[in-house]
Amino acid sequence: MKNLIYKFQFWLVLFFYKMLLIFPESSRFKFGDFLGSLSYRLIKKRRLIALTNLKMAFPEKDIHEVEKIAKESFKIMIKAFLCTLWFKDYLKDRVTVKNKDILDREYNKGKGVIAALMHMGNMEAAIKAAEGYEVVTVAKKQRNPYINDFITKSRKEDLNLTVFSKSKSTSRELIERLNNKEIFALFSDHRDKGAIVDFFGMEAKAPTGAVSLALKFDIPLVWGYNYFNADNSSTTVIKSLDMIKTGNFKEDVLSNTQLLISEMEKVIREHPEQWMWFHDRWNLYSKFHKKKR
């Protein structure tokens, strides 16, 4: 029975995909804005998480500013998701890359590159900077196996992107590929097991995967992000990170993770509406509901 449900969901997604592509891109993005506004109103849990996060991060902003940023964030994240349905065409001439020379320079050292990315703007459009390179990333496996296979195959065929499902063996699988000299694109701004850092003046957990791999195997590390422009084109920005290397691996991982998170915070402050605020970054929503039980 479950398999039939999964098949029905998959065919429904395919039908929606084909229907959406009938319309011009401008109409698709308008539909994305509509879905984003609708999601903001209907998905109470995510709305509350976004508003709480924003109030904590920007205590100086009034409720009207906070709500405006939250609503726009929902719209941007929905548009980023929808855009993956026609990503191959979108990447051709709708994405501008700033500082691609940084990535090229680091890659030419012959060791591959670790790229720490952010859940920001049209986030997967950051791959535009890696055209011509083999790219590996990690993503949470979709519950529906048919949808998961469709997404994985599309990313490989359209974007030359190899996706590993997040699991206990992910680190080992990535390490086994290091000799391939690929670009390892790892999202590094959300809450995950790793280091305790200062983020917007509050204690937060941050993933250390990108920093740890770069330090342990002496692989160059860059970081980057993307933001939507007013016309729904987007800009990908690549940045370098002057790594702290004292010889104490554990301390260097903590120091560089904090350095990376601090740089990312600066970008979020510059483009607050572009970041994914409905992620429970400080684990406040989960903690609150555990106490209520």
Which pairs with CB-CB distance under 8 Å and at least 24 residues apart come from 89-96?
Answer: 90/25, 90/125, 91/125, 91/127, 91/128, 91/159, 94/232, 94/233, 94/234, 95/122, 95/125, 95/128, 95/226, 95/233, 95/234, 95/235, 95/236, 96/233, 96/234, 96/235, 96/236
Residue 162 belongs to what domain range?
2-279
Residues 54 and 72 sit within 8 Å (Cβ to Cβ): no
Angle at 172 between CA 221 and CA 112, to 5 degrees: 30
CB 225 within 8 A of CB 120: yes
Is 155 domain-assigned?
yes
Output the pLDDT for position 188.
Answer: 95
> Among residues 180, 162, 164, which one has the least CA distance to residue 172?
164
pLDDT at res. 106: 96
- Residue 64 inside a domain? The answer is yes
Confidence (pLDDT) at 194: 86
**Which H or E element spans position 202?**
strand 202-207
Task: Give the pLDDT band (50/70/90) at residue 66.
Answer: very high
Whether residue 199 lies inside any domain: the answer is yes
284 within some domain: no
Using alpha carbons, select from 117, 285, 290 the residue that is nearest to residue 189: 117
For 62, phi then psi, to 5°, come to -80, 175
In a domain, 287, yes or no: no
pLDDT at 105 over 80: yes
In a domain, 292, yes or no: no
pLDDT tens by residue, 176-218: 888 888 999 999 999 888 899 999 999 999 999 999 999 999 9
66 within some domain: yes
Characterize 37-67 residue by residue with b for buried, 16 or more Cβ atoms within 10 angstroms of its Cβ, and e for exposed: eebbeeeeebbbbbbbbbeebeeeeeeeebb
Count of structural domains within the chain: 1
Is 192 inside a domain boundary? yes
Q: How far apart are CA 106 and CA 33, in angstroms?
A: 37
- Distance (Å, rounded) from C-alpha 222 to C-alpha 219? 10
Q: What is the overall mean pLDDT for the chain? A: 90
